């Protein structure tokens, strides 16, 4: 499975991945998912948001256990973030089917679309649409950097965007959702363990910061006459870091767009995106308030693009007991499991050790033995839930 997946959307130079929602690469990934399902004689169904489901057994007769993750990536992302959960889902299903005693509940594998939000700015768009957390009109109107809307991109991929909206039928089929994911930190490495159970997702959100300037000639405009949006952006970026330190939170400005972006033209507008996370909502709000104040003194504004409340996974300690008392860790990263849990759908997460802790980078890695330990743990958990 893994070998068929690795070439899709891979950058030959960096080794990183560019797998964005509703692109050619995404279509190849969805085709891969359909092929894996077909090889197991499973039908693939799409929910109203276009997420792919492969069910073993009839989830309309009795809600089932769903295993999965996503196949898309951030720009220049790693191979494991997302695909490891989907591949492990199919692998765990294979083990359970080969075991002879058929599980009492149906088992499904899911590929949630557009988890990273790399193209349209909203993370976990597929699971937010499924659960009704993202309004269909807002989703359809989201635009990428080229001005293509989410609706247009979905349509171009052959899926009608008219049906977007909470999908009660698809939601009803889920008894529990289990998402295995490569760890995005060094928790397991420090503990010298291969697999952990997720206890919670910390609150996090994204804001677009718009900073106005005034276009002018770099060679003739006196410093005192300038309104340089790049200078404003520099101040806001440093203010965001200082606010994160002050409130013991994380703040990142990873995306910047400069207009007109000419060497000899003073910038007329800069957009900087802020990603802010912390243990509590209050800490995140404090960071955002400080950044908003810094931007306001420069004529700038903040617009919230997404927000995810803190989410706890209820059964984490019980599940850890099933897995030789695996460590229980929370995470600052958002996941579809968090979106489902916030919508009242029982959800769980497993994390697989990442030796360096690096993620969202071509350097992201998990050892083969740890991945196999992940599949074992997933199989144990799903078998227990499907009993």
- Contacts of a second copy in 64-83 (CB under 8 A): 74-77
Q: Is 228 in the site for a second copy (CB under 8 A)?
A: yes
Q: Is 56 in the site for a second copy (CB under 8 A)?
A: no
For residues 269 and 188, what is the distance between their CA atoms, to the nearest angstrom?
43
Quick one: 176 or 184, whose CB is closer to a second copy? 184
Site string for a second copy, 345-364 (x = CB under 8 A): ------------xxxxxxx-
Q: Which stretch binds a second copy (CB under 8 A): 46-54, 136-144, 224-232, 319-327?
A: 224-232
The count of chain residues that interact with a second copy, using the rule CB under 8 A, is: 69
For residues 185 and 221, what is the distance between their CA atoms, to the nearest angstrom?
47
- Contacts of a second copy in 84-113 (CB under 8 A): none
Q: How far is the CB of 207 from a second copy (least distance, A)?
A: 9
Quick one: 165 or 212, whose CB is closer to a second copy? 212
Q: Which stretch binds a second copy (CB under 8 A): 161-169, 257-265, 283-291, 293-301?
A: 257-265
For residues 31 and 24, what is the distance between their CA atoms, to the nearest angstrom?
11
Q: Which stretch binds a second copy (CB under 8 A): 90-98, 104-112, 160-168, 332-340?
A: 332-340
Quick one: 165 or 185, whose CB is closer to a second copy? 185
Q: Which stretch binds a second copy (CB under 8 A): 129-137, 152-160, 208-216, 312-320?
A: 208-216
Out of 36, 47, 72, 116, the residue judged to bind a second copy by CB under 8 A? 116
Q: Which stretch binds a second copy (CB under 8 A): 42-50, 150-158, 170-178, 233-241?
A: 233-241
Q: Is 241 in the site for a second copy (CB under 8 A)?
A: yes
Quick one: 64 or 117, whose CB is closer to a second copy? 117
Q: Is 275 in the site for a second copy (CB under 8 A)?
A: yes
Q: Is 261 in the site for a second copy (CB under 8 A)?
A: yes
Q: How far is the CB of 191 from a second copy (least distance, A)?
A: 15
- Contacts of a second copy in 1-20 (CB under 8 A): 16
Quick one: 61 or 218, whose CB is closer to a second copy? 218
CB–CB of 36/90 below 8 Å? yes
Q: Is 152 in the site for a second copy (CB under 8 A)?
A: no
Q: Is 268 in the site for a second copy (CB under 8 A)?
A: yes
The three-state DSSP-derived secondary structure of the chain is: CHHHHCCCCECCCCCCECCCCCCHHHHHHHHHHHHHHHHCCCCEEECCCCCEEEEECCCCCCCEEEEEEECCCCCCECCCCCHHHHHHHHHHHHHHHHCCCCCCCCEEEEEECCCCCCCCCCCCHHHHHHHCCCCHHHHHHCECCCCCEHHHHHHHCCCCHHHCCCCHHHHHCEEEEEEEEECCCCHHHHHCCCEEEEEEECCEEEEEEEEECCCEECCCCCHHHCCCHHHHHHHHHHHHHHHHHHCCCEEEEEEEEEECCCCCEECCEEEEEEEEECCCHHHHHHHHHHHHHHHHCCCCEEEEEEEECCEECCCHHHHHHHCCCCCEEEECCCCHHHHHHHCCCCEEEEEECCCCCCCCCCCCCCCHHHHHHHHHHHHHHHHHHHC
Residues within the interface to a second copy (CB under 8 A): 16, 74-77, 116-118, 121, 123, 184-185, 202, 204, 206, 214-223, 225, 228, 230-231, 233-235, 237-238, 241, 244-245, 250, 252-256, 258-268, 273, 275, 277, 305, 331-334, 357-363
């Amino acid at each position: 499975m893994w070998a068929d997946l690795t070439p899709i959307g891979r950058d030959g130079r960096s080794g990183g991945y560019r797998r964005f929602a509703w692109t050619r690469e995404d279509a190849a990934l969805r085709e891969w998912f359909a092929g894996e399902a077909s090889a197991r004689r499973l039908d693939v169904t799409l929910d109203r948001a276009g997420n792919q489901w492969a069910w073993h057994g009839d989830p309309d007769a009795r809600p089932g256990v769903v295993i999965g993750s996503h196949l898309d990536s951030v720009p220049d992302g790693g191979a494991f973030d997302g695909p490891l959960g989907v591949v492990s889902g199919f692998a765990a299903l294979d083990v359970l089917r080969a075991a002879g005693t058929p599980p009492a509940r149906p088992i499904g594998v899911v590929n949630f679309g557009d988890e990273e939000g790399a193209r349209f700015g909203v993370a976990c768009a597929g699971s937010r649409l499924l659960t009704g957390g993202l309004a269909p009109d807002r989703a359809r109107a989201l635009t990428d950097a080229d001005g293509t809307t989410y609706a247009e991109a979905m349509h171009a991929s052959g899926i009608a965007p008219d049906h977007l909206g909470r999908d009660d039928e698809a939601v009803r089929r889920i008894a529990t959702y289990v998402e295995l994911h490569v760890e995005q930190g060094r928790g397991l490495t420090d503990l010298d363990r291969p697999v952990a159970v997720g206890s919670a997702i910390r609150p996090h959100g994204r804001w677009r910061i718009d900073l106005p300037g005034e276009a002018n000639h770099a060679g003739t405009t006196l410093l005192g006459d300038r309104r340089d949006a790049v200078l404003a952006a520099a101040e806001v970026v440093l203010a965001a870091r200082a606010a994160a330190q002050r409130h013991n939170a994380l703040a990142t400005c990873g995306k910047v767009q400069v207009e007109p972006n000419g060497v000899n033209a003073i910038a007329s507008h800069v957009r900087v995106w802020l990603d802010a996370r912390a243990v509590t909502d209050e800490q995140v709000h404090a960071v955002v308030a400080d950044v908003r104040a810094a931007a306001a003194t420069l004529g700038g504004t903040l617009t919230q693009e997404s927000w995810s409340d803190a989410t706890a996974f209820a059964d984490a300690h019980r599940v850890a007991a099933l897995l030789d008392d695996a460590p229980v860790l929370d995470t600052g990263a958002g996941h579809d499991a968090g979106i489902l849990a916030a919508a009242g759908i029982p959800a769980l997460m497993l994390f697989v050790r990442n030796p360096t802790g690096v993620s969202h980078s071509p350097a992201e890695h998990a050892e083969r033995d740890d991945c196999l330990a992940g599949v074992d743990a997933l199989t144990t958990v799903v078998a227990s839930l499907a009993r």
